[in-house]
Structure 1
């Protein structure tokens, strides 16, 4: 049994508690005490202890694009062409080095659990490796080396569009030939262990069609499901033209909405979409630094929460890896388009970056609570950014002033 004594700790709400002892054994928190003096057995931590950040949406290899794609004219689709070029240069060896570095950067930024939306499965010519899951196992090993929890969200990528278009040459690495082949490969990954788990990730409704989504729903067996939803207006338009339904409506028809599902981006939604996501308790994952970098748009975060959905966060393309920035960007984006402040509370935003993210990746308990994993981080109050820290408004200080640097 071990214990730490924190100068301050965020235990929920808008304020931070002082002089908090956190006791843990076998990796789980067993007791939390506030307003207690440190004991001789405590490891003392100055600053503010908060739950470890959970990065619910990551594409590790996109980190290689940082600084190389942010200038000049273009849109999401132009950026995607450059991303494909990087994807087709990956080997098991260089991907292990890259992913280890990316996950290590996350750990240094206070992230203790990442959901890796993994779709570079095969060789450049589309043929499987001798071990069809070699690249997925590379990601698992990278997370182990970095000391970070991982949910490997194995991506199904079967079509190039809503009308059965074939995938382009640059997409062959992503594609299992059939839904049956993908299901078999995911089954062979097993269920994982305490440090890594496996989730299901149909890439999008344009890449995985209705009948295949229905098979995934039947196959799920307590695994979480993550899927890109309505990131681009063009995708919505094509979906409605081909099916008469929005992406969210298709997921509802396939029985793939619920607290086990995370709708990534959820940017361009109709009122009915918002209602369906909220009533089903589906989790939305916003990635504001990526969404603004790519010009995607600003999603209806407050409307989703009001409807009953939960909000999680991800750094996605890793233009930056800073969950404080992701959290405050949700609020700042809403301020820009509503001309109002205080749309989301600081507690709500910290929860999105921690507890709701863990829920998104299948962990029912996360945070500074008894029974949760002892995954926490400390934020220094001695930097110039937090020099005026007041525990009475601790959550606001953290969300609106802190950085992961």
Structure 2
């Protein structure tokens, strides 16, 4: 190995299994220069205190909703569902300023680091002033998120959202959606400006809110702007049964089938994709698009259960997201992903693949490691040369992990641990703080401003 920052791990998760005595070298650009197995620790290496894992990308986040997490868990009417939750969420969206958003996001991003994420894809549609008029700099809210990410030290993929319509048969936005109004030109301009800024660890793609908020003409116009640009394209799709019914009524097709007609490719990330048929899954698989499942939020909102077996069997790239921020760590997301299937199907180890990958934890985790780069618009991810040097150091004394055999550590982490589970979290070869008193205090002040004592 040539000179460079060196780390030595007693164990590291490489090629789908634990391997011993791993030497990891970071280049001056903060990316892995070399990774080798079975080597003793040289004197120049930093000896890591526990097993090392690649972190994951949080592939779907609405940062401002951190200020609403836990505040929609009371029911005053006969029924409560996603749509009633959404109306209450709009009340939060209508009051947050750029300074408040920065404080909320800085605390959230610190919590996401503590949850094992080192890159977050921010599905960002809160753009304009409280009255719906643009800020002097129309990207004021985007820059607030970028500043929050810089402060926390997390990687950020900003996804400015095309949000033009209130519903399939509601061309105009509602007044409660006035801060979200954009078109394809706005979104492409925002993407270009963010990428041109050259901010460390920060890049941009684009997003469409949903088929009900972006009609065919909107999608086609954005695609014309994008051309062959290698930026990620994210969209909410098939999250709710009512959305499926409305799409059928308006287009004659289910959401995934209607979306597939737009010529999907490996840049596309389909968020939720909860209500699918096997025919639709096969069509998405042939396109190369990925799916982003958000089990914590989908459970909290009563969305339903994705066809996990179908997506895994088809080999569709997969990631997870914190979405509404009711959960903010990937261990809990993967646990919920599997436990939801067990409850629905009344079976155990649903995601395991006997003969190929008998460990449920390993199969889910490996799928998300492999899907992370494309979801974030990065060239590589994990403990591989060329990827950014992001990694997690597992705390073997964490609750549920003490005494667990190395061969079962990943199973114990996902199905038996109770956090915090990381001894250290690194981004671009540098350790990150997993708690910051000043950020927490600023966040608490914003919460008091929004909600009172």
The alpha carbon displacement at 1:103 in A equals: 0.7
Cα–Cα, structure 1 residues 3 and 166, in superposed 2: closer, same or farther, change >3 Å?
Answer: same
Cα–Cα, structure 1 residues 18 and 308, in superposed 2: closer, same or farther, change >3 Å?
Answer: closer
* Aligned partners of 1:122 and 1:173 also within 8 Å: yes
Is structure 2 residue 359 aligned with structure 1 residue 351? no
Structure 1 residues 39-62: Cα deviation after superposition (integer angstroms, max 9, x where no partner): 221111122211122100001111
Secondary structure of 1:385 counterpart: coil
Q: Which runs of 5+ in 1 are unaligned?
A: none
Who is 2:326 aligned against?
319
Secondary structure of 1:384 counterpart: coil
Is structure 2 residue 259 aligned with structure 1 residue 251? yes
The alpha carbon displacement at 1:32 in A equals: 1.9
Structure 1 distance, partners of 2:170, 2:87, is 21
Structure 2 distance, partners of 1:101, 1:312, is 23
Question: Of residues 171, 190, 193 in structure 2, which corresponds to 1:188?
Answer: 193
Is structure 2 residue 53 aligned with structure 1 residue 50? yes
Structure 1 distance, partners of 2:26, 2:185, is 43
* Aligned partners of 1:323 and 1:404 also within 8 Å: no
Question: Of residues 95, 104, 111 in structure 2, which corresponds to 1:89?
Answer: 95
* Aligned partners of 2:114 and 2:329 also within 8 Å: no
Is structure 2 residue 223 aligned with structure 1 residue 217? yes
Secondary structure of 2:292 counterpart: strand
The alpha carbon displacement at 1:35 in A equals: 2.9
Who is 1:364 aligned against?
379
Moved more, 318-327 or 352-361: 352-361
* Aligned partners of 1:313 and 1:352 also within 8 Å: no
Who is 2:166 aligned against?
160
Who is 1:5 aligned against?
8
What does 1:6-405 align with in structure 2 at a 5 Å threshold? 6-13=9-16, 15-26=17-28, 27-72=30-75, 74-176=80-182, 178-191=183-196, 192-220=198-226, 221-255=229-263, 257-344=264-351, 345-405=360-420
**How much is the aligned-residue C-alpha RMSD, in angstroms?**
1.7
TM-score by length of 1: 0.95
TM-score by length of 2: 0.85
Secondary structure of 1:190 counterpart: helix
Cα–Cα, structure 1 residues 184 and 39, in superposed 2: closer, same or farther, change >3 Å?
Answer: closer
Structure 1 distance, partners of 2:186, 2:299, is 36
Secondary structure of 2:275 counterpart: coil
Secondary structure of 1:368 counterpart: coil
Secondary structure of 1:293 counterpart: helix
Structure 1 distance, partners of 2:288, 2:132, is 37
Structure 1 residues 151-178: Cα deviation after superposition (integer angstroms, max 9, x where no partner): 00111100011124321111000012x4
What is the aligned length?
A: 402
Secondary structure of 1:354 counterpart: helix
Secondary structure of 1:172 counterpart: helix
* Aligned partners of 2:164 and 2:171 also within 8 Å: no
Structure 1 residues 5-42: Cα deviation after superposition (integer angstroms, max 9, x where no partner): 112211132x4122222111121212223233222211
Structure 1 distance, partners of 2:11, 2:271, is 33
